[in-house]
Amino acid sequence: MTSSSSSPFDFSLEQIQRWLEQLISRMLRLDHTTSTLRGLFVVISFAGVIFIYTAVRHPIGEVGTALLGLFVPALVPRDMTPLQFLLSELGNTFFSLDVLLMAAALGLPFLLALEFATLYQSDIYEIAQTSVSRRFILQSAFAIPRYDTLEIKEEKLTPEQRKSPFIQIGGPGIVKPNPEFAVVFERLDGNPHFIRAGMSKKERTLQGFERLRRIIDVRDHTFHYDKIIGRTKDGIKIEIQDVNLLFSIWRQSGNTPLNNPYPAHLRDLYWLTYQQVGEHWTHAMTELVEDHLLRFIQNHTFSEILSAVGEPEIRRQVELESTIQRIAWSQPLRRPLRFIYSPQMPQPLPPPVFVPRPQLSNFFKSFTQEFPLAARQRGLRLEWINVGTWNTTHPILLDQHIEAWRLTSENMTRSSPRVLDEIRNQARLQTYQRIIQQDIFLAIAQLNRQGYKPDQVCYEILRYFEAQLSKMIAELSSQGQVVPTRLITARQCIHTALENFLSSSGATFL
C-alpha cells in the first residue's frame, strides 16, 4: 500500500503562469516605488551590458593599473601624471569606437521608442507640446525626473496648471492642497483617490494616468437668489425675492482640530464627485432649496402665505389682550362675568390656516422634515437661510384671480357647521321678509282700497295664514313626513282666533 504526498516543489503549469502574470503586473505598476525600481533596473542593466562588453573587448586590467597609479606613482609613465594616465586608460577602454557603437546600438532603440510613444500620446490627448508627453512618459515609467507638485490654492485651476501633465494626461505627481480644499482624482481602474492637506506625502502621490475629477471647497458658501417664481395651490403666481443661503459640505457640529479646520467625510466627497450633475457642486444645494421652496408654495394657498403673521405681531396681540384683561379686572363695577363653557353651545369658528414666517425657516432646519434628509444624502448641510419678501408678480391681481381667491375663502368658511347654521337662519329671515313685504302688505293695501274695515282686514289675513298652514300640513302628510307639532299648534291658534272673531260679530264659523 503506497500513499502519495504532494511535494512543495511540485508546481503546475497554471501556478507558474499565474505567478508570471502577477510578476509582470507588479513590474508594470504605475506607482512611485515601482517606477523608481524600473528606472534603477534600466540604468544598471545598461551600465552592466556596457561594462561586460568593454571587459571582453578591451584589457580591463589597464584601468586597474591606472587606478593603482593614483597611490603608487612608480606605475605611472614618466611623461604623464597619475590623473592623466587614469583618464587616458578610461578613454581608451570605455570610450573607444566599438564601445560607443555598442552604447548607441542599445540607446538609439530606447530613444526611438520614447519618441514614438511621445508622438502617439500627444496625438491621443491632443497635446501641442511633445515635451509634456515626453516628460510624462519618463516620470510614469522610470520616475525620471522628479515628480512635479500641483498646488491647489483655488477651486479653479490657473491657465498654467491646465497646461501641466496633471490636467492634460494625469499622474504621476504630488498634490499639495490647501486645508480648505479637498481634491478627488480617479485611478486607472476607476477607484477614487481622495487627497486632503493633512495626508502624508505618500498618500498625496499620484499614480500614472490618475485624472483630476473635482476640486471641492469645503468652506462655508453663500448664494443669493434674486427671485423664485411659483404658483400657489389656488393658482396665483407669486415670487420670493432676496433669498440668501449659507451652506457647506456636511460636517458634524462641534470643535474641530486646528490641523483640520474643515473636516469632510469621504462618502460626501464621493457623492459630490460622481452623483452630482453639473460643473460646480454647489448647484446641488441651490437647486435643492429652490425645489423645496417651489414645493412649499404649491402646497399652500395665496392667503396662507401672504396673510401670514410673524412673531412680532403675535407678541403684540398677546400683550394687547393682557392689557385689556388687566384694565377690565381693575374696574370692580365693570368686572366681566366668568365664561362657563357648555357642550350645547355652538362650536367656535376655527382660526384661519396661516403659515408664520419662522415656520418657513424652520422648514429647512428641523431634522424631522424632508429637506435636511435630502441635503444629508447629497453630502450637504444648510447652515442658514434668509427668506426675503413675498410679492405678487404684478402690482394688481387679475379680476379672475381675486374672484377665485374670494370663492376659495368663502368655501373654506362655509365648511364650518356654525357658519352653515348661520347661513340657514339668514335665508329663513330673508324668506320671512319677502313674504311680509310681497304678500301680506300687498293684501292689506288691496283690502283697504276695497273698503274693508280693520277687523275685516285682520280676519282676511288670519284666513290667509290658516290656508298656508293647512297647505303645508297637507303636503307633508302626502309625502309621508312627520308634521311638526308647532305647525298644528299654530293652525289651531289661528282657527280659535277666527272663531272668536266670528262669535263676537254674531256669525258662525264653517
Low-confidence winner among 63-77, 93-107, 273-287, 460-474 (lowest mean pLDDT): 63-77
Averaged pLDDT for residues 139-148 = 83
> Coil, strand, or helix at residue 400?
helix
Supply the mean pLDDT for the chain: 77
Q: What is the DSSP letter of 335?
A: P
Q: How many CA atoms lie within 13 A of 395 on its CB side?
A: 0
Q: What is the pLDDT of residue 2?
A: 46
Residue 1 — pLDDT band, cuts 50, 70, 90? very low
Please report where in the chains the cell 370663492 appears, as a residue. Answer: 407
Which residue type occupies 69? G
Q: How far apart are CA 152 and CA 175, in angstroms?
A: 8
pLDDT at residue 349, as a whole number: 45
The candidate with the shortest Cα–Cα distance to 116, out of 104, 127, 130, is 130
**Averaged pLDDT, 430-450:** 74
Helical residues (DSSP H) of 357-416, grouped into ranges: 357-365, 370-377, 399-414
Question: CA 380 to CA 385: how far, in whole Å?
Answer: 14
pLDDT the model gives residue 341: 46
Residue 67, pLDDT above cutoff 90: no
pLDDT over 90 (residue 194): yes
Query: 23-43: per-residue pLDDT in tens?
Result: 888 888 877 788 888 889 999
User: Which of 74-88, 165-179, 367-381, 414-428 is predicted most confidently?
Assistant: 165-179
- For residues 211 and 453, give the distance between their C-alpha atoms in angstroms, rounded to a whole number: 114
pLDDT of residue 312: 61
- Report H helices in 220-310: 266-274, 283-298, 302-306
Residues of the chain with CATH 3.30.479.30: 221-254+272-330+351-392
Instruction: Return d(Cα 370, Cα 359) in angstroms, integer.
Output: 14
Which helix (DSSP H) or strand (DSSP E) does residue 142 occupy? helix 130-142
- Asked whether the beta carbons of 434 and 469 are under 8 A apart, the reply is no
> For 221-254+272-330+351-392, which CATH superfamily applies?
Band 7 domain (3.30.479.30)
Q: How do residues 123-142 score in pLDDT, each as one tens digit? A: 888 888 888 888 888 888 88
Alpha-carbon distance of 41 to 48, in angstroms, equals 10
Residue with cell 502621490: 205
* Chain centroid to CA 510: 89
pLDDT band (50, 70, 90) for residue 116: very high
Residue range 53-60: mean pLDDT, rounded: 81
How much of the chain exceeds pLDDT 90, in percent?
6
How open is the CA angle 347-349-351, to the nearest 5 degrees?
135
Pairing relationship of beta strands 173-177 and 149-152 according to DSSP bridges: parallel
Using the predicted structure, report yes or no on whether residue 242 has a pLDDT greater than 50.
yes
